[in-house]
Amino acid sequence: MERIYIAEYLSYWKATEAPLSADVGVIEGASGVWLYDVGNSEETAAEINALPGRKNIVLSHFHPDHIGNLPKIRYDALYQGANTLRYTGAGTAVTADIYLQDGVQLHLFPLPSSHAKGSLGLEVNETYAFLGDGAYSTRKAGRRVYNAGLLLEQIRVLRGLKARWFLLSHDAEFVRSREEVLSQLEAIYKMRSPKESYIVLSETDDEE
C-alpha cells in the first residue's frame, strides 16, 4: 500500500471499499509512532505491524472499518472514547481533553457526533486534526440525519481547535481546510427546525 505523506511527521494509508477499511493516520513521534485508527484490511494490518518501534493507537470510534484490525496488531498503548472501550475491552477511555508530548504535540479530544457515540479526535502540532467519521451524519430510514444538539456542540469543539486542516476519513479530499468543513457543518445546522431535534438531509444536500 502507498503511504501518503502530508507533512514530514504525518502520513496515512487511504481508505478502501473492498474490504471497507478506513483511512489510517501515522504520526511519527520521538518514542515511536501514533496511529489514528487501524483499518479493517489484512494489508493495512501488515503495514502497521511492519512499522518499527513503539505503537500507540487512537481510535476514532467503534465501527468495524476503523477498529477491525485491532486484534491483529501489536501495540503498546490504546486510547479511545468510553463507548468504543465497550467494544475493544482494552486501553484507556478518554472522557476529557488529553495533551501529550512525544516530539510532536498531541491533543486527544472527545468529539460530539451524530455519526457515532463517543467519537474521539486527534489534533497534531496545532496544525492538523483527525476527525475520523465524526463530522458525518447517521442514517435513519435511508435518510442522512444529524442530531441538531450534537451538531451544535461539535461545531463549538471544532471552532476551539487551532488546527488549520481537518482530516476526514473516507472523504475524496482527506485533507480539507477547517473553514470549509465548518462552513459546511454550520450550513447544515441552519437547516434545523426549532421544533425538531433532528436535521434530515435530502440525498442532494452536500455532506461528505
Residue 201, Cβ density class (10 Å: 0-12 exposed, 13-18 middle, ≥19 buried): middle
Nearest to 104 by CA among 56, 70, 174: 56
Predicted confidence (pLDDT) per residue in 87-132, tens digit: 999 999 999 999 999 999 999 999 999 999 999 999 999 999 999 9
Each of the 208 residues of the chain gets a pLDDT tens digit; together they read 899 999 999 999 999 999 999 999 999 999 999 999 999 999 999 999 999 999 999 999 999 999 999 999 999 999 999 999 999 999 999 999 999 999 999 999 999 999 999 999 999 999 999 999 999 999 988 899 999 999 999 999 999 999 999 999 999 999 999 999 999 999 999 999 988 999 999 754 444 3
70: amino acid identity, one letter? L
The tally of CA atoms less than 13 A away on the side-chain side of residue 66 is: 25
Residue 176, Cβ density class (10 Å: 0-12 exposed, 13-18 middle, ≥19 buried): middle
Nearest to 59 by CA among 43, 46, 71: 71
Please tell me the predicted confidence (pLDDT) of residue 202.
73
Please tell me the predicted confidence (pLDDT) of residue 92.
98
Q: Is the dihedral angle over the CA atoms 194, 198, 203, 206 positive or is it negative?
A: positive
Q: DSSP per residue over 53-109, as a string?
A: SEEEEE---S-HHHHTTGGG---SEEEE-HHHHHHH--SEE--S-EEEESSSEEEEE
Nearest to 168 by CA among 68, 69, 23: 23
Domains of the chain in start order, with CATH, are: 3-135+163-179 (3.60.15.10)
Predicted confidence (pLDDT) per residue in 92-103, tens digit: 999 999 999 999
3-state secondary structure of 152: helix
Please tell me the predicted confidence (pLDDT) of residue 207.
42
Please tell me the predicted confidence (pLDDT) of residue 189.
97
Backbone angles phi, psi at 150, to 5 degrees: -65, -35
- pTM of the shown model: 0.95
Please tell me the predicted confidence (pLDDT) of residue 195.
87
